Structure 1
Amino acid sequence: MTKPLSRWLIALPRRRKVALMIAADLLALPLCFAFALFLRAGNFELLAQYGITPPLIIAACTIPVFSLSGLYRTVVRYFDLKVLWTTGTSLAGIVGLTYALSFLMHLDRLPRTGLLIYWFIAFSYVVISRFVARALLTRTRQSLLARNERASLRVGIFGAGEAGFQLAIAMRASLGHKAVCFFDDDFALEGKVVADLPVHHSNHVRKEIQRHAINEVVLAVPSLPIERRRQIVDKLHRYSVSVRTLPSLLELVDRKITVQSIRDISVEDLLGRDIVPPRVDLFAKCTQRKTVMVTGAGGSIGRELCRQIASQEPQRLILFDHSEYALYAIEQELRQRYPDLQITARIGSVCDATAVSAALRGQQVDTIYHAAAYKHVPLVEKNMPEGIRNNVLGSLTIADLADHFGVQTCVLVSTDKAVRPTNVMGASKRIAELVFQAAATRPNTRTTFAMVRFGNVLGSSGSVVPLFRKQIREGGPVTITHPDVIRFFMLIPEAAQLVIQAGAMAKGGEVFVLDMGKPVRIIDLARTMIEMSGLTEKTRKNPAGDIEIKVVGLRPGEKLFEELLIGGEVTASEHERILCSNEPLIAEAELHEMLERLFAACDTRDELEIQTVIQSLVVEYAPYSSLESPGRKVAAPSQREPSQPLQHALRGVASRQQPPPEIGTDPQLATLSNSSKAS
């Protein structure tokens, strides 16, 4: 009987459902008042004395109050405590007002003594009727879904806190998810019940997954440390269940958690690290109420810099990029998110002094973040003149014009590939650093020049993570250049925040080095991404695997180990993850003479002369081509000793002969190495 009725109710148009609710309330509310009079007297004498008029009057007054409180606008299946609170307080208000009027006007026909009891009964009726209707409709929808689908998704929620509770409530109204239990690391919650679901300790995950036939586990702890997240994901993958997650609270709109909030685990969730919140004073110093210009605004780092700067309420934000589409995309995003922000988008190359001057003239720019650069090692290696012009001439143009227009702070975004480079891209970025260092030594400059050096950024254009994703989607093989290649990784938002904060600490000429944490072996990253895709690696021991990892050899100019320091002399800064490196520099007059030779070589496209001049500018530069000879294995880039980790440098360790840390022995990266050890 109930199922046909529920199906009929679900099929009704929205207006008829509201009319049906109002009709039910018009019938029930007089009965609520009659029951209140019965409870007041203990018999039917008061009801007989006052008659039917007071119940009808109070019901007629209550319906408009319910309507104004939003009770009839709320979908029953999504009925929440906020609506109940509004309805209850509105009902209390009308009861109090009715009591006051009847007392002042001496209305003896209205039984004032039963009004308070009526409030409790009417409010109880609203709560019970709506929740019963919601349970009935939800159960009917779930039964309909079960009939249409072969199997429903049984979900275990990891985290019995506020986020997990909200997710469990949201899943009750979901057609495709059925929450069956919670898992939590807190022993105090073992055996407790949250949102009508049992809570099990995380030590019992395997047993409960089997007992409840769980298909998917959702990580519902937005503040979960990265290391613990890696451990949980690695553990759950061994039990053949799908693992998904909620985003951080900062990513959630209005902090409301719904089933749509669930997303797949990304490699950034596992390779990132716990982000240190930016220091408010440093973050705002060069951006808040300032006119800020970002070159390369359409690139991965440039886009994020623009987002972070826009959040600090700058006076004006100038976007500069040579790519029309990239510039258009970031401009539209910022205008939508920050409609009151003054944004100027300029198309042009940083090598074009006229275009840069036009962007700066009359704007009274306070800060420039120079992120425009060619960064792809093989492409720049094959196009040396273009790479040198963009990275070196572009930086020289920005430095000169920043000084000319009196910009307060000018920050160069550099790279770890500038340290003892074996490729033209890295060497060009080191020369760009030399340009900024020389500009900082000018006696009358009003501009504070600084450089910020960091490693690979997860998810940036051309990085290895998007490449691996594409190769896995296409069925493989996943290509790596060498099984021993390791890289430092950082999330784009953290990198942008640290760049802004480093620039705020600059006094002039510093090379800031971001603490990149611990390096990751690329082959372990590839294996982890294959595993996260629900696939297996195809090897000699496992020929039936899904995806093969293929070693294709080091590309021209590529190193096994990237480094962050040249001299190894670093000092701590005001920020715990930013260090200041003491790097050698070249006097500006001598530098300009050498740059003239370099640009002349670029004009004639004489690659040998380009490399010769680079060698005179960057003495640590060891071009890849000079390390090759026909018929023998190239070993030099891979055998060069990497620099010591930053934490060792801070402790004053002088030796540079230590090999890079073994990933397999690093507990923080144990998740990434499990597959490697197994094979």
Structure 2
Amino acid sequence: MDKFINILRKLSDQYASKWLVLLFDLCVVAFTFFIAYIIRFNFIIDFEFNLFFKQIPFVLVAALISFLIVSSHKGVVRFTGAKDIINIIIGINILATILIVTTFLSRKYQFDVVFDIPGSIIYIHLLLNIFFLVGSKFFVKSLYRIIVTDFEEQKSVLIYGAGTSGMITYDAVSNDPKSNIKVVGFLDDNDGKAGKKINLLNVYEPDKITKEFIQKNSIDEVIISIQSIDSNRLLEITSKLFALNLKVKIVPAVQNWIDGDLSIGQIKDINLEDLLGREPINIDNPMLVEEYNNKIILVTGSAGSIGSELVRKLVRYNFQKLILIDNSESPLYDLQQELHQKGITNIECIVADIRNQIRIDNIFNEYKPDIVFHAAAYKHVPLMEHNPYEAVSVNVRGTNNVINLSVKYGVEKFILISTDKAVNPTNVMGATKRIAEMIICYQNTVTTGKTKFIITRFGNVLGSNGSVIPLFKKQIENGGPLTVTHKDIIRYFMTIPEASQLVLEAAAMGLGQEIFVFDMGKPVRILDLAVNMITLSGFRYPEDIDIKITGLRPGEKIFEELLVDGENTKPTYNEKIMIAKCKPLNNLDVKIIIEELCNLGPSTQNIAIVSKIKDIVKEYNPNNSKYDVLNN
């Protein structure tokens, strides 16, 4: 049996010759012409066979001409669709027209009886041709689908959206001969559509989809096919479907369809980026080409999540030289090899630590960069709570080193990559990043050089090193449970490409003294994110993998903010991006106290370091940590 199946599948992989298809269609035309005669004479086979056999060659020649005109024989039968059927019908009508015209001329000018075909036979023949030719195409298509899918388990799906996009999705699924998907119905929020039928399939209200309904109809997954769906609405829909243990797929935006047509291969599994709670930020700014062409660009922290993606986007431009600095050897080497494999050689990968001022000075002196992207930082909140000296040494003293050298060597633009944790910080990491911002604001007011200082500030980055996504993935691989610190904790999220693109945009747009923030939509509840990740991984919550609430970590907030009190925003040409001005500071006091902080040695007590940080960042209020005593 298996051998027979394999033979059938091998045969199914072969495409029939177009001339074989044409010959088959002509045979159908001859057969239907015979049937038309029988019908015309009331199924009594006593008509003149000699006349029939004389007319058959003429009919076949007319059919041959008609089919060649419309090229119906060139279609791949297994992929027969609506356009192919229309083409066949046009060819059949051309055939009927030829027969009608020749019959008329034959009767008028007394041509040979071969050309004189009764009108009733022509019309019967026309209808039979439509029925048999179209039917044969769909029969072969169905037979092919049976061969390739009959021995595979079929999936029953619902299409969410009974509009134009839903119909196109239905056609894409139904017309793919290798598809093992069976559409059993539609879902739609429109009350006017609910209860009706489309292509003989029921349209259901979403509220009718219960566990009992799913079990009764053996539903496996739902394909969301709604163009320009609001991301918050998408999050709401998918959360309900996930709760029913259904798999969810989504149809991409129409502008992403290949050559304007949707194929089943483009219907993708829904992912975390689709569930950000906002529309993705897409920036297409021709200013960027002019900004980075023929420039020497230096990136610190270039091997990190943001830094490396920033580099991948920068290599699209015709820069003069790209200087990549990182103190992490292996990731920097990996990035170097990745770029070399793409043929990008005008880069320099340098293992260096931004805390070493002499070493960084030598690099600036050798390469004289035009633009500096400062992505190097310590970012892990729990670790920095226990190691405030290291947080200060990198996030404050290291940043200060790069800033001073940018001024010294006349860098055109310096872009600091900051975080929402710097806003009203409750942890050491966020407070040190806030100090880095304050140094930038200070430089903007005192520098007499040409350097323009710019800050970009954004929320959590999906998939970055040490973020919640890789942690959840690892916990899922280990069978759970997933650990969430608080059931109500919420965070803003963005993708790594979005973060990197924002930084590039800020550099091109910035004139100095700006903090670039952007509309990140509604924050995502981490508990909901954990549940969605479990479901996206093919498991059920809580039956397969559970979630454990562990309690807030030291310095952790329930929610994050994007603006410090006193920072007023104004819009830009991109509605998703806003500009805030640096909060006014007492310049002399800030400079002195930051220098005192940077001069603290490694033997200084943690509490003393954090106390000095709090003296600088007045809005810093340690939370749920041993430094809470400083709030008194």
Q: TM-score, structure 1 length as denominator?
A: 0.68
Alignment of 1:227-626 (within 5 A): 227-247=232-252, 257-275=262-280, 277-278=282-283, 280=285, 286=291, 292-306=297-311, 309=314, 313=317, 315=319, 318=322, 320-322=324-326, 323-327=328-332, 344=347, 346-349=349-352, 351=354, 366-483=370-487, 485-523=489-527, 525-526=529-530, 529=533, 534-537=539-542, 547-551=546-550, 553-574=551-572, 575-577=574-576, 578-585=578-585, 587=587, 594=593, 596-602=595-601, 607=606, 610-622=609-621
Shift of 1:446: 1.7
Shift of 1:627: 4.7
Report if the CA contact (8 A) 2:29-2:63 is conserved. Answer: no
User: Aligned equivalents of 1:123 and 1:446: distance in 2?
Assistant: 78
Report if the CA contact (8 A) 2:421-2:561 is conserved. Answer: yes
Report if the CA contact (8 A) 1:408-1:447 is conserved. Answer: yes
Change (3 A) 1:271 1:590: same
Aligned letter for 2:560? E
Shift of 1:85: 9.9
Report if the CA contact (8 A) 1:226-1:274 is conserved. Answer: yes
Shift of 1:241: 3.3
- Please name the residue that 2:22 is paired with: 25
User: Aligned equivalents of 1:31 and 1:560: distance in 2?
Assistant: 73
Aligned letter for 2:149? Q
Per-residue displacement from partner, 1:380-427 (whole Å, max 9, x unpaired)? 333444433332343234323433454433221111222343433222
- Please name the residue that 1:133 is paired with: 140
Change (3 A) 1:393 1:125: farther
1:142 aligns with 2:149: yes
Q: 1:155 aligns with which of 154, 157, 174?
A: 157
Report if the CA contact (8 A) 1:292-1:314 is conserved. Answer: no
Shift of 1:133: 1.6
SS in structure 1 at match of 2:238: helix
Report if the CA contact (8 A) 1:295-1:350 is conserved. Answer: no
- Please name the residue that 2:103 is paired with: none
Alignment of 1:46-85 (within 5 A): 48=54, 55=61, 71=75, 76-78=77-79
Shift of 1:288: 7.2
Change (3 A) 1:32 1:174: closer
Shift of 1:508: 1.6
SS in structure 2 at match of 1:601: coil
Shift of 1:573: 2.9
Report if the CA contact (8 A) 1:34-1:55 is conserved. Answer: no
Per-residue displacement from partner, 1:33-79 (whole Å, max 9, x unpaired)? 9999x99xx999898599799959969x969x899x6x5xx5x5445
- How many equivalent residue pairs? 588
User: Aligned equivalents of 1:5 and 1:28: distance in 2?
Assistant: 28
Change (3 A) 1:547 1:162: same
Change (3 A) 1:459 1:509: same
Aligned letter for 1:567? D
User: Aligned equivalents of 1:465 and 1:292: distance in 2?
Assistant: 31
Aligned letter for 2:9? I
User: Aligned equivalents of 1:34 and 1:433: distance in 2?
Assistant: 84
Shift of 1:483: 4.7
User: Aligned equivalents of 2:606 and 2:500: distance in 1?
Assistant: 34
SS in structure 2 at match of 1:12: helix
User: Aligned equivalents of 1:324 and 1:87: distance in 2?
Assistant: 65
Please say which structure displays the higher CA radius of gyration. 2
Change (3 A) 1:408 1:78: farther
C-alpha RMSD of matched pairs (Å): 5.3
SS in structure 2 at match of 1:144: coil
Shift of 1:138: 0.7
User: Aligned equivalents of 1:585 and 1:342: distance in 2?
Assistant: 43
Per-residue displacement from partner, 1:463-522 (whole Å, max 9, x unpaired)? 223323433443333333345544333444444444444444433222334344444554
- Please name the residue that 2:108 is paired with: none
**5+ long unaligned stretches in structure 2:** 41-47, 93-113, 118-122
**5+ long unaligned stretches in structure 1:** 92-110, 538-543, 629-633, 641-679
User: Aligned equivalents of 2:323 and 2:19: distance in 1?
Assistant: 56
Shift of 1:429: 1.1
Shift of 1:164: 3.6
- Please name the residue that 2:226 is paired with: 221
Report if the CA contact (8 A) 1:169-1:195 is conserved. Answer: no
Per-residue displacement from partner, 1:194-217 (whole Å, max 9, x unpaired)? 566444444544496566442321
Task: Report which stretch shifted further, 269-278 or 430-439.
Answer: 269-278
User: Aligned equivalents of 2:287 and 2:184: distance in 1?
Assistant: 46
Change (3 A) 1:482 1:62: closer
Q: TM-score, structure 2 length as denominator?
A: 0.73
Report if the CA contact (8 A) 1:166-1:258 is conserved. Answer: no
Aligned letter for 2:22? D
User: Aligned equivalents of 2:198 and 2:409: distance in 1?
Assistant: 62
Shift of 1:525: 4.5
Identity of aligned residues (%): 34
Report if the CA contact (8 A) 1:512-1:580 is conserved. Answer: yes
User: Aligned equivalents of 1:254 and 1:605: distance in 2?
Assistant: 64
Shift of 1:128: 5.9
